[in-house]
């Protein structure tokens, strides 16, 4: 499905993203891009966003990349998420790029990277999602 700017605006305004500091800002054709400006509260113990926060960022951005490839009335849930933590996150703003590499029936395969402002690779991930009928 295509996600309209208004839908994205609406989707970005949720408690999880606001609590953490996530904003999705490009979702199209199996790709999604997001930005993390982590709230201080989720930067512990090293004054950097916690690894689980980076996992949240990658998981949600991957899910958006999947949503661009599925029909309205469906949603997706994560089956599996594999993360490699490569570099210590430094700075105030981080970009996550995710894409769906393949969709086979009700299973979607994805990848994601997190980069800092100097384009250093901080983390990479692979994720598998199951496509489900949305509960109304």
* Both tokens assigned to 4: 């309209």
Q: Does 35 bind its own copies (CB under 8 A)?
A: no
H helix intervals, 1-136: 5-12, 15-20, 51-67
Lay out the site mask for its own copies across 117-136 (x = CB under 8 A, - = otherwise).
----x--xxx-x-x------
Segment 57-96, which members bind its own copies (CB under 8 A)? 57-60, 77-88
Distances (CA, A) of 23 to 19, 54, 72, 119, 126: 11, 13, 22, 18, 20
In the complex with its own copies, which residue's Cβ is closer, 26 or 115? 115
Binding site for its own copies (CB under 8 A): 14-19, 39-45, 50-53, 55-60, 77-88, 101-102, 104, 107, 109, 111, 121, 124-126, 128, 130
């Amino acid at each position: 499905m295509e996600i309209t700017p208004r839908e994205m605006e609406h989707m970005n305004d949720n408690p999880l993203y606001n609590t953490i500091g996530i904003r999705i800002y490009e979702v199209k054709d199996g790709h999604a891009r997001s930005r993390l400006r982590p709230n201080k509260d989720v930067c512990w113990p090293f004054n950097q966003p916690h690894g689980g926060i980076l996992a949240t960022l990658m998981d949600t951005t991957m899910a958006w990349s999947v949503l661009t490839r599925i029909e309205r009335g469906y949603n997706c849930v994560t089956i599996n998420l594999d993360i490699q933590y490569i570099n210590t996150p430094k700075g105030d703003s981080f970009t996550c790029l995710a894409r769906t590499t393949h969709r086979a029936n009700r299973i979607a395969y994805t990848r994601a990277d997190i980069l800092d402002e100097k384009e250093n690779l901080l983390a990479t991930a692979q994720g598998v999602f199951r496509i489900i009928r949305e509960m109304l």
